[in-house]
Structure 1
Amino acid sequence: MRPNTRPSPMVRKFIRANASADPPRPLLLPSSDNSTENAWPQDPIRDEYCFLYGTLMDPDILSKVLGSSKPLPIMRPARIIGYEIKLWGQYPALLDKPLHPVDGIVCGLLSPTQLDRLAAYETDKYCLRACLINVLNNDSSTEKTIEGVSFMWNGRQDELREGTFDLKQWRKNRQLRELDY
């Protein structure tokens, strides 16, 4: 009888995972300085780019959600094509709509924990989905296109209404609500 030389199912799973793992992505969103302290790690954590729209474009909100005392990840103006915004109460919801653009920001996340914190903030009404993100120049032209993720509406369509989200107006309304306390 020949001994079993086949790797265990767990070892085969790790071999498959490592064989199909994507190589580290190059740094596409340069930091504001060149210090090694702020350089994004390439291994073992793979950087992920997230397209954010709505309240998460507010640096104060994003900082609270990410729960980090470190500086926020680099944020750049961005656009995704093939989507539209509708409103769920005062909050925007991203839906598919061919050839239609949605503006927001792209943010480089440093850890899986940050993505988990964003998902908790978004609730089960939103789900994470892959998308192509156009990183914009100051004149709104596309500098480059990168792969990333965004939070799409995951609720019922009848919960949404037509409308747009205005970050400046949302900030004003938020300040007024805080004054009422």
Structure 2
Amino acid sequence: MLIFLYGSLRDPVLLSQIAGDPRLGLSLRPARLGGYARVHIGGWNARYASVVRQPGAAVEGFVARLTAPAQPRLTAYEGSSYEMRRVRALIDGQYRMVGIWMARAVTRRVWTEPTDLRRVRMERSSTRHA
């Protein structure tokens, strides 16, 4: 099965370690998920990626061919907050059905790149002591 990766598992080293298959990280191919936007879930100190339907948006990511032994390991890594769904992604100019882990409940805030935690801590500290 092809799997669309858009969060931490885009890192080929992490993907290979979690999957227990060093070849998996080497097999990543660029892909695009149209009609979805990346969002974050969790509090200010823990941000996890997910996607939600959003017309006109797109999420850039990678696809990998998931092996049978790797699937339960990656499912365990994603945890019970995520579920596997099937979506259509653009890969090498062609649309293909792929699996994707999506959070069961997400905020509607569009994803922004991770904030510098030192700046966040300084801002929080200055407002507490003002």
TM value normalised by structure 1: 0.55
**Higher RCO (C-alpha 8 Å, min separation 6):** 2
CA 1:156–1:95 in 2, change beyond 3 Å: closer, same or farther? closer
List runs of 5+ in structure 2 lacking aligned partners. 117-130
Corresponding residue pairs, total: 111
Higher strand share: 2
Q: Which has the larger radius of gyration?
A: 1
CA 1:147–1:162 in 2, change beyond 3 Å: closer, same or farther? closer
The 8 Å contact of residues 19 and 73 in structure 2, kept in 1 or not, is answered as: yes
Instruction: Write the distance in 1 (CA, Å) between the matches of 2:13 and 2:19.
Output: 10
Instruction: Write the distance in 2 (CA, Å) between the matches of 1:63 and 1:164.
Output: 26
2:23 is aligned to 71
- Residue 112 (structure 2) pairs with residue 164 (structure 1): yes
For residue 105 of structure 1, the aligned residue among 46, 55, 62 is 62
**1:131-176 deviation digits (Å, cap 9, x = unpaired):** 111114xxxxxx211111101121354xx7543246xx99xxxxxx
- CA shift, 1:83, in A, is 1.1
CA 1:115–1:165 in 2, change beyond 3 Å: closer, same or farther? farther
List runs of 5+ in structure 1 lacking aligned partners. 1-47, 137-142, 171-181
The 8 Å contact of residues 31 and 62 in structure 2, kept in 1 or not, is answered as: yes
The 8 Å contact of residues 84 and 96 in structure 1, kept in 2 or not, is answered as: yes
2:94 is aligned to 144
- Sequence identity (%): 30
The 8 Å contact of residues 37 and 110 in structure 2, kept in 1 or not, is answered as: no
TM value normalised by structure 2: 0.74
Task: Say what the alpha-carbon RMSD is for the aligned residues.
Answer: 2.3
